[in-house]
Amino acid sequence: MNVTVEKTGATSFKVTVKGAASTTHAVTVSPEYWKKLTGGRVPAERLVEKSFEFLLERESNSSILRSFDLPVVQRYFPEYERTIVGMLEDSP
């Protein structure tokens, strides 16, 4: 799967996932949530990209909500916040 993240506003992003079926998603990330997960060390685009990698390990791109606020992921996957911090630390 190929994930492309494009910033569309101060807190909004368009995510395109190309795979067997291509999907487009609108994601919002508040500055507070971005800072909570990244400590300000990683661009918000990278957080969104890694979040989609996390989601794609657990479900198909066609199952991912088309529009959501990033904290919603934690509701579906309680391990999200803990896991995403580790994924961001492990990535270059």
Domain ranges for the chain, please list them: 2-90
pLDDT (0 to 100) of residue 44 = 97
What tokens were used for 61? 């791109």
Q: How far is CA 53 from CA 10, 40, 47, 56, in A?
A: 22, 20, 10, 5
pLDDT (0 to 100) of residue 77 = 98
pTM metric for this prediction: 0.95
Secondary structure class of 58 (helix, strand, coil)? coil
pLDDT band (50, 70, 90) for residue 92: low
pLDDT above 80: residue 19:
yes
pLDDT band (50, 70, 90) for residue 1: confident
Q: Convert the pLDDT of each residue in 37-87 to its tens digit.
A: 999 999 999 999 999 999 999 999 999 999 999 999 999 999 999 999 999
